[in-house]
Every structure is written in C-alpha cells, then in structure tokens.
A and B are shown apart, each in its own frame.
Chain A
Amino acid sequence: MTARRVVITGLGVIAPGGIGTKAFWERIVSGVSATRTITAFDASGFRSRMAAECDFDGVRSGLTVRDTARLDRATQFAVVAAREALADSGIEIDERNAHRTGVSLGSAVGCTQKLEEEYVARSDGGQRWLVDHAAGTPYLYDYFVPSSMAAEVAWEAGAEGPAALVSAGCTSGLDSLGHALDLIREGAVDIMIAGGSDAPIAPITVACFDAIKATSPRNDTPEHASRPFDRTRSGFVLGEGAAVLVLEERESALRRGAQIYAEIAGYAGRANAHHMTGLRPDGLEMSAAITGALDDARIDREAVGYVNAHGTATRQNDIHETAAIKHSLGEHARRVPVSSIKAVIGHSLGAVGSIEAVASALVIRHGVVPPTAGLHEPDPQLDLDYVPLTARDQATDTVLTVGSGFGGFQSAMVLTSAEGGRS
C-alpha cells in the first residue's frame, strides 16, 4: 500500500503589515517590523502597550456589514484567509467532493474579543456578577464555544467532511495542520481547509500577559520591541492574524494539475509536563517533537535546509528552543539557518503556527530565507545562525517549523518541496 501524501495547493494570509499572501511574504522578507503602539483600544494603563496589528477592514476584504458585526475579528480573519486560499488553489468544492473536504482551524483564544465586549456590555462595566442575559447580541453562544469559527470556514468552503477547531494554545496553528494531515492520510478526506486564526489584541489578553510579564515592556520603541535571540530581548509582542492553507492528497492534486507549494511531510507534538507557562532550558520535549516530525517524514536531520523558529523573544523561549534545535539536529544545527519572523508580525498565538507554515512553504518556493528582524546584539548563550536583519538567498527543499506554547505543548512540522526531499 502506498501511503497517502499531503500537499499544499492554496494559501491565504492576514498578517500585520501584509493582508494577502504576497504582501505578507514581501513584508517578512523586508524585515520591517509591523509592531506599534496599540491602536485597537486605549492601552495606557497596561504594562505592555504594543502589538503587531493588522490593518484589516472586513468589509473592504469582502465581508458583508452584517457578518462584520456578527463575527469575532478572528473569525473574520479566518473566513477572508480561507477565501484567498480557496481561490489560490483553484479548487471547486461542490456536491462531488464536499463530503471529502474537511476543516481544521487552530485558535488559542477563540472569540475572546467578542466575549470581552459582551461581558462589559452585560455586566455594567464589570460591576455585576449576575450579568444581564438579554443585554447584548444573540450570537453570544458562538463566541462562548469557538468551534463556530470552524463552522464559518466550513460554510464558506462548502466543506461537509469532519470539521474542528484545534485549540492547543500557541501550537494550535501547527497542530491544526497536523490534524488535517492525519485526516487526509487516513483517508477520511481528500481535501482539508486548514489553518489558524487569532485576534487577541484586547484588554483581557494584554492584561493576562502583563500579569506574568511575558510581553515586552519596551513601549518607547514599539517598532523595535520584539528582538528574538537578541541579548537584550525582553519578551514577545502580541500579534494577530490568520493563515489558511488548502491541503490535498497528493495524487488527486497532481491529477487536477494543481499548483503545489510544498508537501507537508511530517508532524509531531509533545508535552513537557513541566509547567503551564514555564520551559525547562534543556528543550528535550521540543527536541522529541522535532525528531518525531522528521521520523514521520522519513527525512534525515541533515536534509533540513532552514528552521523557522518559534523565536518569541522571551528570555526562556529562545534558550529552550536553541537547545532543542541543537539536541535534535546535532552538529547540523550549526550549519542550518534559523530565523524568527515574529519581530515583524508579532506573536499571534494560535494563528502563528499556520502563518509560519505558509512562510516555510514560501521559503521553499522562492529560495529566500526571511531574516530575524530586531536581532542587533547576539546573545553569547545563543549560538546558532539566526539570519539577523537581512534576508538570505538560500535554496532549500526541506524546512522545519516549530512551535511552543502554554500548557507545555511543543510541536514540529516538516515541509518539503513538491518534487521530493523524502527517501
């Protein structure tokens, strides 16, 4: 029996500094940061007052006024990104393949923004425990249980196979693709609309990260606040956005003559069983996830030509991740370029894994590695090639992308060029 393989045939991206896949790619290659002082609300009372915001207008992006009122911002991102990805793939979902098409969407905080707005409206600004059940929108349940986000994407695509929201915190955007990979491989579906979306730039989420000092307090230079792998790094900058990918079983994609960006060759996830927000410096579980993904892809570690890092710019993440890459790739870790795009687009929680998977596919397509913006002062403890500041021409047919998140979750995915890379 030949194992079923999974390829990427369509991309859609909503990112800070770039709405649409093309603008997103140009932005991350330029290394010009999209982080800024928060404009979404008055953040003056908060410790970290910066974010990488999307200049997104749902109506301008093709949604109806009614939908922009009804849908949480994260759901709007997902629907718009799904439209772009579907159009890009050229696939038609109709009665012939609807049952063979599924949805797997990642999100860490779901429709939190709407939940917060509705809470404020129903609680007299936080004064009432017994909130008013009748004061707000009739759509509250859809924010309360965010599988509504996956439902909207399924309706948009016309998908009638299995649909799910994957919500594993900050690895959601990789885990959702891993789930899609499973479903196509096992034959439950031939097509998956898969990705991640989060819109967390709202008071409650900013307050959460303030409370544990995870975000950067460098408010005086917001465009230079996120400094992955830099000696002076001080935490992440919150972001928002979405990426949706059309994934197809390889043979059927080839039969219909689809463009193929890359193959998703392997995936694995592990837990560190250590702490809900803390990381052990040895990175052993992320290392196990990387090794698991390479094994799943049946690819030698020496074949990895680029590592798209989680690279959040927290003190602990960058140490943890560097150790994990070294442990899993061995001596090869010293030769392979590693970069984080989060200095440009911020950390969009459950979306970012999918956004970075898109970046990884585009690295394979364009033969260019986006830089780690914001990395001016190397940290002597961190000794890999982090591609500081400037993009690099580098042809590669195998990319590793990794994620790490609250709950202790560690995920890794291997993408290869359409032509091969696997033994």
Chain B
Amino acid sequence: MSAATVVTGIGVLAPNGIGAEEFWAATLRAESGIGRITRFEPASYPSRLAGEVTGFSAREHLPSRLVPQTDRTTQFALTGSEWALRDSGLSADSLPAGERGVVTASASGGFEFGQRELGHLWGKDPRHVSAYMSFAWFYAVNSGQISIRHDLRGPTGVLVTDQAGGLDAVAQARRRIRKGTPVMLSGGMDASLCPYGLAAQISAGMLSESDDPARAYRPFDPAADGHVPGEGGAILTLEDGERARARGARSHGEISGYAATFDPRPGSGRPANLDRAIRGALADAGLSPRDIAFVLADGAGEPEPDRAEARALTDVFGPRGVPVTVPKSMTGRLYAGAAPLDLVTALFALRDGVVPPTVHVDGPDPAYDIDLVTGSARPVRGDAALVLARGRGGFNSAMVVRRPSAA
C-alpha cells in the first residue's frame, strides 16, 4: 500500500508575502517581514517586534457574514484554504463531499477574539459576550470553518503541539489519505498578536527584547537571545498521488516521511529525542541522510535549543554535513503556521534548486558545526529536503518532502 501523498495546492499568508509565489519571491530576496508591532501600541511591553501580515483585508477575501464571527486566525485559514483549493484545480463537485476532509494545527485558537470577549465579560457583563465566542476562540475553529466553507464532510482533526503542530497535522492528513480519503486540506495559521497573546509569549521568556528588526531573531547566532513572534502560515491541498496523477493535477511535491518524538522531563538526565525524530522521518521516507539536499531547521533562536538542534543535525548528518537554513528568520515564529510555511519553502526550494538564507545571522556559532546558509540564497541539487519543527515542552517533529516524481 502506502500510496504517495502529494501536495497539489498551496495557500500562503506570511509576513513577507501574501500568496505563495509572492512569499517565495520575497524569501529568495531575503526580504524580512519583521517590524514594530502595529496592531496595537507595544511601547509598554519589553518585546515590540513581530512579523505581521500587512495589507490583508478579510472583507476582500471572505463573505461579509463570516467576518464578524471569526478571529483573524480563522480569516487567514479560510483565505489560505480557498487559495490552496484553487491552486489544486479541484472543483467543488469533483468528488463526493465525504471524500475530502481537513486537519489543522492550532496553537492558541482565535486568541484576539478571545481577549476581546473576555473584556466584554469582565469589563461589562455576561450578556455582552458574543454569540460567536463559543466557537471563534476554541482550537478547533479553523478545521470547523474550513469544512463548512468548502463542504468537506470526510475525516477532520485538530492537533495542538505548539510550534510542532503543523507537521503533526499534515502527517495526520496523510494517514487519512492512506486510509482512503483522496483529498485532505491541512496546515495551520496563527494570529495571536494581540496584547494578551504577546503577554503570554513574553511570559515564556523566549522573545527577543531587541528593537532592531535586523538583530532580534538570529537562530544559531552566537548572540541569539530569543525569537520574534509572527502571524500567518500555510494551508495545503494534499491528495493521493495516483488520484492526483489520474486527474492530471500539477504536483508541488510529495510528503514522503514523518516521525515525532517527545523529550524527557527536563532534569531527568535522559538524552533529548530530536535525532530520533529525524531518523524516523528518513526511515519512513526510505531515504538516508545523504539523500537530503537541505534542512529547514526549527531555529529557536536561543542558545540551549539551538545547541540541541545543531547536535541532532550533526549526529545524523555529520559535522557541516548538510546545508541548514531558517527562513523563519524573515517572518518570525508563526506557531501553528510555522511548519506548514516551511513545507512550502522546502517544496519551492527543491523545485527551483535554490535554498533561501537565514537572515540577520553573519555566521552560526562555530561550536555548532552546522553549514548554515546565510547572506543570500544558495543553489542546491537534490530531490528531498527535511523540515524540523519543535514545540515548547519537548515536542519534536520531522518531515521529509520530495520533488514531484517524473510522471
């Protein structure tokens, strides 16, 4: 069995580009979308930078009735899913509704909507809470709204594993395809750049406090001191490879391997497990480390997780054994949206034979012994790439993608 799962559609909203090709062009130009937060006045917070999706108007993309009942997160997800379906060329009636489904990753649900309604409850009274609150905040909102908007009546799902969630969701969608559902939408979008969302991110101590967009988020840099949050992400149309080929669909590439692990409790003395996730994903894809053309690293931008990730990479690939890059240095970390966006980057990089750089880093800490792509995009040859995503607490996910196989 084990039919291939291919990506036939892509929808992107990213801080450095709205639309898949716009995002990719900006990424190749090493164009950063990080700047001072504009969605509210951030002066009172120790971290004031973010990767915001600018120039997005929900009313241009969604029916007006959907706008007041949805958080920005969901507006991104609905728009991205529309584009992912359009890109795939699937028409609404091309197969029965029960044969298409959706699995998304979430990190914090429709959080800005949630903050606003908490304000209505506590600042006023229960009668001021929106009738939409019961479903606009919770983590399942994007899968629910996408299924309704596109009449997807097959399997659904929602996974939350912090920043690793996007890969876990795509892997879940791939399981459903292998079990017989021909079309699945998957991926993730996030938009929690409201004051309470920023406060939550500050509380974890992971955000950079720099005011310089070119210095704030520098994964693997010797001076790395935290990350910049961002918003956006990607939604993918995934299809059974044979079905896609039979209908003459254009494939962006294949999801060919995946594995996930969890790290032991801090202080337990047991080794971390990212390397096991990488080896598992390679084994699942039937590939060896030398088959991997490049790695999109998680790139936490803090010394300890950067060191741990570099160690896992050198364990598997050898010292400086594979080009490594962190394009999210241009967007900030997008939570549930981060890994799906990296999948898109990996597919386009394989297609065009060029790996985008990690920006704002002159050179990685030499102790890490990794071949970090910096400065400008670098040509590569190869058919497969590895995407890593890690979530707070110890979630490790790894996914291998391949170029479209010649028909």
A270 adjacent to B200 (CB under 8 Å): no
- A11 to nearest B CB, angstroms? 23
Instruction: Check: A188 CB closer than 8 A to any chain B CB.
Output: yes
Given A46-B126, A129-B195, A162-B261, A145 contacting B162 (CB threshold 8 A): yes
Tell me what chain B mostly uses at the interface: helix, strand, loop, or mixed: mixed
Contact with A along B251-263 (1 / 0, CB 8 A): 0000000011111
Instruction: Check: B107 CB closer than 8 A to any chain A CB.
Output: yes
Instruction: Check: A177 CB closer than 8 A to any chain B CB.
Output: no
What is the total of A-B residue contacts with beta carbons within 8 Å? 280
Given A140-B203, A270-B153, A207 contacting B119 (CB threshold 8 A): no
Q: Which residue of A lies closest to B168 (CB)?
A: A164
- A234 to nearest B CB, angstroms? 17
Of A133, A159, A285, the residue contacting B46 (CB under 8 A) is A133
Instruction: Check: A400 CB closer than 8 A to any chain B CB.
Output: no
Given A145-B335, A203-B126, A211-B133, A268 contacting B155 (CB threshold 8 A): yes
- Of the listed stretches A119-127, A326-334, A340-348, A351-359, chain B binds A119-127
A144 adjacent to B201 (CB under 8 Å): yes
- B140 to nearest A CB, angstroms? 4
| Chain A residues closer than 8 Å to B394, beta-carbon distance | 151, 154, 163
- A367 to nearest B CB, angstroms? 33
| Chain A residues closer than 8 Å to B203, beta-carbon distance | 133, 136-141, 144
Instruction: Check: A379 CB closer than 8 A to any chain B CB.
Output: no
B172 adjacent to A273 (CB under 8 Å): no
Given A130-B40, A408-B144, A145 contacting B160 (CB threshold 8 A): yes
B125 adjacent to A270 (CB under 8 Å): no
For the complex, give the distance between the alpha carbons of A274 and B158 in Å.
18
A168 adjacent to B264 (CB under 8 Å): no
| Chain A residues closer than 8 Å to B157, beta-carbon distance | 166, 168, 175, 179, 269
Q: How large is the interface on A (under 10, 10 to 19, 20 to 34, 35 or more residues)?
A: 35 or more
Q: Which residue of A lies closest to B273 (CB)?
A: A160
8 Å CB interface, A143-200 against B? 143-148, 150-151, 154-155, 158-169, 172, 175, 179, 182, 186, 188
| Chain A residues closer than 8 Å to B135, beta-carbon distance | 169, 276-277, 406-407
| Chain A residues closer than 8 Å to B210, beta-carbon distance | none
Instruction: Check: A102 CB closer than 8 A to any chain B CB.
Output: yes
**Further 10 A-B residue pairs, CB within 8 A, beyond A167-B139, A407-B144:** A110-B160, A126-B122, A129-B115, A129-B119, A169-B158, A179-B172, A207-B121, A208-B133, A210-B126, A211-B129
23 contacts across the A-B interface (CB closer than 8 A): A95-B270, A98-B270, A99-B276, A110-B139, A140-B199, A144-B197, A145-B162, A145-B391, A161-B261, A164-B161, A166-B158, A167-B159, A179-B157, A203-B121, A204-B117, A204-B121, A207-B133, A208-B133, A212-B131, A270-B155, A275-B148, A406-B134, A406-B135
Which 7 A-B pairs rank lowest in CB-CB distance, beginning with the nearest?
A407-B144, A126-B122, A126-B123, A151-B393, A144-B200, A141-B204, A167-B139
Q: Which residues of B contact A (CB under 8 A)?
A: 40-41, 44-46, 69, 97-98, 101-102, 106-108, 111, 114-115, 117-126, 129-131, 133-135, 138-141, 143-145, 147-148, 150-162, 165, 168, 172, 175, 192, 195-206, 259-265, 270, 273, 276, 280, 335, 391-395
